[in-house]
Chains A and B, each alone.
Chain A
């Protein structure tokens, strides 16, 4: 029992400044997405004066149509996070299916799945998303679903999994040749059990990292799509805010409070998630953590006059 727990602990990122900082940023944004809409005025309330500078009444000013930018930002955060989450989950599931299965089964299945993955990887994602969106959104058969944020998330999910699949395949392939997996197979465990019980738990840090990449990719993709007017109608996201700002000439009229906050939120969320990924990276690849520490130790020793590298071969 204690053994299992300590094994699990080695999978967890060490509590470092990067991890704490990353969680603080992401946590704050998630909290804002949950609480913001509760305290802000309705996002499409156009009774306010238009293009107001930030003030005590309107913390982030108002847009050309008189919408309160703070309230738009609160709802937009919610919308963008939802799309990122849904698309991230879809991409992760597809990446596991294509990557882990290819890596585990090898042979012909590997060849076929990898070929498909690599084709998806080199076909540029965003243009493909734009093409699919342009067709799907104009079709009458789908009704309201055709321009919903769920559909945008699905399209982003099914176009954004290939990179993760490549990473997972490489790792699954290496795990597959380990002795404990061979032992499990000799013991007669079924393929699905080996994959879910023996292999997937050891992929947890990688899965987390790829999930985070998937979310960043989807949120950036959604922002681009919405900015071009191809996003979901009816919902508010960071991308639709930027699209409004573009059509409202926010840059030309110097209404910085309108277009700066949504982009800053995207950058902050991306940075926060990347920080968490850094912490995970240092678990997956201990050299990243140990090498700088060693270099620091050597330098400290040299300064104290103990080391042999006075000219600083390492430092």
Chain B
């Protein structure tokens, strides 16, 4: 059990570090974001002064001249634990927490589904290419690096140019058809269908850009694993090639891929954020970009925190699975 305890402790510490980073960044970096933000809120309010309550919320997030750093830190945690992330200036007067709650499901479903597809595809194809080592397939391996090096958003631009603008097969922007559903998202088959059609190109972008990494990692591990003594033993015993491939080699070769999942996820999230801008996808990346461009610091801080927490949660989930499938991790910590 100490493995799980260690991992959970690590994520609690990382959580604390991320929140503290969020607290420190606007205070330690040069500039006066709280003043800018309050000015923006006042303009958004039609030039009328905003309530003291709102000013307090902003200064607690972005820093004020009053009170010691420690008092501010305690107050910051207090607000955070109540789920109060302040008010957005670009979408005044919507609370930041509400905006994030609307956007988050779009990104989680899109990135989650695309990442799972990409991971499985990469592992299966990578295992096969590694198994057929020394054949013409080896020459295909370097090509995957081209896909890996393509910026997500540029691939998205090219896909839009080809499939949406030229061929007209897919919608160009948005997460669903705004004209068919002017009232916003609803639970109906027609809406889900519209959302799926809009998600195909973004998901394709993520899969194409990330599958190369999984494939390459799996292929290389497969090649290394196949020269292990236990594989030779299995061959000597006369086991069928299929059994050796799946039960002996692929299972062991996949372990580092699972262990490296967290790092790879960071890249996927980074790529998806910029990519959402291309598709105007109504997810968390679009919100982040909007907040950064509009100097909506409260929204930006909130989105950054939520992205970090989501990535940490995904990492913790993978660690639990990893501990389950690899006993060595559980026993050696």
Interface residues of A (CB under 8 A from B): 18, 21, 115, 118-119, 121-128, 130-136, 138-142, 163, 216, 220-221, 223-224, 227-230, 242, 245-246, 251-252, 254, 256, 259-260, 262-263, 266-271, 273-275, 278, 281, 285, 287-288, 290-296, 299, 311-315
Per-residue CB contact flags for chain B residues 182-198 toward chain A (1 = under 8 Å, else 0) read: 00000000000000000
Q: Are B33 and A126 in contact (CB under 8 A)?
A: no
Residue numbers in B under 8 Å from A221 (CB-CB): 270
A213 to B145, CA, bound (A): 12
Q: Are B10 and A274 in contact (CB under 8 A)?
A: no
Interface size on B, residues (CB 8 A): 69
Minimal beta-carbon separation of A7 from chain B (angstroms): 25
Partner pick for B274 among A224, A256, A299, CB 8 A cutoff: A224
Q: Are A227 and B304 in contact (CB under 8 A)?
A: no
Minimal beta-carbon separation of A293 from chain B (angstroms): 7
Residue numbers in B under 8 Å from A141 (CB-CB): 30-31
Taking A119-B17, A224-B153, A224-B274 as contacts, is the C-beta distance between A230 and B145 under 8 angstroms? no
Minimal beta-carbon separation of A251 from chain B (angstroms): 5
Residue numbers in B under 8 Å from A124 (CB-CB): 266, 269-270, 307-308, 311
Q: Are A135 and B226 in contact (CB under 8 A)?
A: no
Minimal beta-carbon separation of A304 from chain B (angstroms): 16
Q: Are A126 and B154 in contact (CB under 8 A)?
A: no
Residue of B nearest to A121 (CB): B263
Q: Are A115 and B153 in contact (CB under 8 A)?
A: no
Q: Which residues of chain B from 144 to 192 have a CB within 8 Å of any chain A CB?
A: 145-146, 148-151, 153-155, 157-158, 160-161, 165-166, 172
Residue numbers in B under 8 Å from A216 (CB-CB): 149
Q: Are A142 and B307 in contact (CB under 8 A)?
A: no
Residue numbers in B under 8 Å from A128 (CB-CB): 21, 304
Taking A251-B165, A292-B223 as contacts, is the C-beta distance between A269 and B25 under 8 angstroms? no
Residue numbers in B under 8 Å from A275 (CB-CB): 142, 145
What are 6 A-B interface contacts by the 8 Å CB criterion?
Answer: A126-B274, A127-B288, A135-B33, A227-B277, A228-B293, A278-B145
Partner pick for B154 among A118, A119, A266, A268, CB 8 A cutoff: A266
Residue numbers in A under 8 Å from B224 (CB-CB): 285, 287-288, 291
A246 to B277, CA, bound (A): 10
Taking A124-B311, A138-B295, A270-B150 as contacts, is the C-beta distance between A119 and B13 under 8 angstroms? yes
Per-residue CB contact flags for chain B residues 285-324 toward chain A (1 = under 8 Å, else 0) read: 0001100110101001101100110011001000000000
Minimal beta-carbon separation of B144 from chain A (angstroms): 9
Minimal beta-carbon separation of A122 from chain B (angstroms): 6
Minimal beta-carbon separation of B65 from chain A (angstroms): 16
Partner pick for A119 among B14, B165, B223, B292, CB 8 A cutoff: B14
Minimal beta-carbon separation of B15 from chain A (angstroms): 10
Whether B241 sits at the interface, judged by CB under 8 Å, is yes
Whether B46 sits at the interface, judged by CB under 8 Å, is no
**Nearest 10 CB-CB pairings of A with B:** A270-B149, A139-B31, A263-B154, A126-B270, A295-B134, A274-B145, A139-B30, A292-B134, A296-B134, A135-B29
A282 to B103, CA, bound (A): 44
Residue numbers in A under 8 Å from B33 (CB-CB): 135, 138
Taking A256-B161, A267-B150, A292-B223 as contacts, is the C-beta distance between A122 and B312 under 8 angstroms? yes
Residue numbers in A under 8 Å from B288 (CB-CB): 127, 130
Residue of A nearest to B36 (CB): A138
Taking A124-B269, A254-B161, A281-B220 as contacts, is the C-beta distance between A263 and B304 under 8 angstroms? no
A115 to B7, CA, bound (A): 12
Q: Are A288 and B241 in contact (CB under 8 A)?
A: no
Residue of A nearest to B272 (CB): A126
Per-residue CB contact flags for chain B residues 115-158 toward chain A (1 = under 8 Å, else 0) read: 00000000000000000111100100110011011110111011
Residue numbers in B under 8 Å from A229 (CB-CB): 293
Residue numbers in A under 8 Å from B146 (CB-CB): 267-268, 270-271
Partner pick for B134 among A223, A268, A293, CB 8 A cutoff: A293
Q: Are B134 and A251 in contact (CB under 8 A)?
A: no
Minimal beta-carbon separation of B244 from chain A (angstroms): 8
Minimal beta-carbon separation of A39 from chain B (angstroms): 26
Whether B18 sits at the interface, judged by CB under 8 Å, is yes
Q: Are A127 and B270 in contact (CB under 8 A)?
A: yes
Residue numbers in B under 8 Å from A115 (CB-CB): 10, 13
